[in-house]
Structure 1
Amino acid sequence: MEKKQLAKSVLKVSHLTGSFLLRSGKTSNEYFDKYQFESRPELLKAIADHMIPLLPKDFDLLGAMEMGGLPIATAIALQTGKEMVFIRKKSKEYGTCKFAEGPGLKGKKICMIEDVITTGGQVVLSTAMLREQGAEITDVMCVIDRSEGDHSRLENGGLKLHSLFTMEELKAHQ
């Protein structure tokens, strides 16, 4: 699927209009439901196809942020053969009590994968926790960058953002 067609398809299934209460407490007349594109295999495959060339050249693991990063990273892993680490927002309170599941982290270079990034706050927090366990992380990839160009939080966390689309690019295909 061409990138322009992918943008149109993602926007078509995910951009909703109406009255929506946002996490911030504000009300909006539009909402972007990212799970609509993440739940469609044909779009996940096309997203992975377009994200793979953007991956850094030298890394060991894909870091999949819960919950939206998991399907994206899985689609990329299936095509590249790269192993993944599943990253929770907080540690489990039972079993292994881990916040990251999968291969060992010590000495591994991880490319973080997210669906949508606005401020990057959760990525920065999770990255700090992974670094405490010996992982090296410099790159974050996302399908949609909603930051409107403000990557300061990520940059202050030593992270470089690579995005497939900005929200403005998607909306240009309405």
Structure 2
Amino acid sequence: MSLDDHAAIAGQSTARLLLEAGAIRVSAAQPFFLAAGWASPVYVDCRLLIGEPRWRRKVTDLAVAALRRSPSTQFSIVAGAETAGIPWAGFIADRLGLPLRYVRKRPLGIGRNAQVEGGEVEGHNVLLVDDLITDGGSKASFAQGLRQAGGVVTDAFTIFHHAVFPGSQERLAALGLRLHSLAGWRDLLRMEPMEGLDKAQRRVLELFLSDPVSWSERHGGRGAG
């Protein structure tokens, strides 16, 4: 089985778990506003997967398998991005028997004024873990924080990648980060209606994906400017 086949199976499995957990929300009438300022009719709440042991074990299985299949990915420490990436980093680090750290968006401002917590990262290859990526903006502060602490950061892992807003690939490339993700919107659209989104929800998603920037701007979010 090829890497692409493995990735497709992992994407479908993750999409099913997200739907089962109620983590995919569709609202055509009232848009969701994402942290990066984009408006969207669909919202992914990966934090709901933390709640049930079966969900978090399965996602951790899929994450570890995906990371092990990537021969270019080498790391000796796992670091969770504040805050939603921290539990997933913990699950992955525990499964792999590796040290765990977490990284804040910015230094704490008190005490040691630390941005990286849990121990040193200097001289180590660090895997940055977050729950999802929208346009890659927040990953810059996390990667830079780890690097300023002496860590080597070349790879990031997320459960979900929006992959529709401009600039994400360019930002990741500028940061020197390879992104590993389990699922995206295309995985949801590949599912049969009986097990995935209903027809109305699929139509809303398809219209949004055809021009997400214009959709966002029309609904009060960020635009092309």
- TM-score of the superposed pair, with normalisation by structure 1: 0.87
Alignment of structure 1 residues 1-174 onto 2, 5 Å: 3=10, 4-12=12-20, 13-18=22-27, 19-23=30-34, 24=37, 26=39, 28-55=40-67, 57-148=73-164, 150-173=168-191, 174=196
Which structure shows the bigger proportion of residues in strand conformation?
Answer: 1
Measured at CA, do residues 94 and 6 of structure 1 come closer, stay the same or move farther in structure 2, by a change above 3 Å?
same
What secondary structure, in the 3-state scheme, does the structure 1 residue paired with 2:126 have?
A: strand
Separation of aligned partners in 1, 2:170 and 2:38: 24
The one-character-per-residue Cα deviations of 1:129-162 (angstroms, maximum 9, x if unpaired) are 2212211010011111112395111011111111
Q: Which AA in structure 2 matches 1:138?
A: T
What's the CA shift for 1:25? 6.4
Separation of aligned partners in 2, 1:20 and 1:171: 20
Q: CA RMSD in A?
A: 2.1
Separation of aligned partners in 2, 1:48 and 1:73: 9
Structure 2: state its 5+ residue gaps: 1-8, 197-225
- TM-score of the superposed pair, with normalisation by structure 2: 0.69
Measured at CA, do residues 38 and 172 of structure 1 come closer, stay the same or move farther in structure 2, by a change above 3 Å?
farther
4+ residue runs over 6 A deviation:
none
Separation of aligned partners in 1, 2:62 and 2:97: 16
Q: Which AA in structure 1 matches 2:33?
A: L
Kindly tell me the number of residue pairs found equivalent between the two proteins: 172
Separation of aligned partners in 1, 2:62 and 2:48: 18
Structure 1: state its 5+ residue gaps: none
Q: Which AA in structure 2 matches 1:96?
A: R
Contact 1:11-1:171 within 8 A present in 2 as well: no
The one-character-per-residue Cα deviations of 1:15-38 (angstroms, maximum 9, x if unpaired) are 123324413264x44322222223
Contact 2:124-2:151 within 8 A present in 1 as well: yes
Contact 2:134-2:163 within 8 A present in 1 as well: yes
